[in-house]
Copies of this chain bind each other. A is one copy, B any other.
Amino acid sequence: MSNIHIFAEKLRSLGLRPTQQRIIIYSLLFDRKDTFHFTIDDLQNILKNTSTKKISLATIYNTIHSLKDKGYLKEISINSEKTYFDTNISKHHHFFDESKRELIDLNDKDVGKIKIKKAVPGKKITSIEVLVKIANNN
């Protein structure tokens, strides 16, 4: 076996001690095929329903922020209500389904090249993010 040891090593390699809590969260986030979009609240609910070990809210925040700081999660702001996180850290964009209130990845090839024809003196571009809002078609 064991994914657990692989995850533990992964965490260690990030400079994060592989605690039980971190392994549970790490595997929930990354032991899956598709990318995963979630809010802290989503994560808390999933953990409540799937993990026998209780993980405190503070630990959830701490772990997610550590992973984000290490570059393993991307933070996405759609609106002021909630903060979303994305396990897909490659350069890409998003659909936001306003009916279901959920994110869908738009990979880089799904969006034509974006030309910015204006520059601000003394400033350089650090990122370009496109958010495409969608709603039920009726």
Contacts and interface: CB of A to CB of B under 8 A. Distances in A.
Interface of A: 75, 77-80, 83, 95, 97-99, 104, 106, 109-118, 120, 122-137
A29 to B, nearest CB: 19
Nearest to A117: B110
Given A77-B78, A80-B77, A130-B130, A123 B111 contact: no
B130 A135 contact: no
Given A123-B134, A136-B123, A111 B115 contact: yes
Contact of A111 (B79, B106, B111, B114): B114
A98 B123 CA distance: 10
Given A77-B77, A97-B123, A118 B110 contact: yes
B133 A125 contact: yes
10 contacts: A77-B77, A80-B80, A95-B118, A95-B123, A110-B116, A112-B113, A120-B134, A128-B130, A129-B132, A129-B133
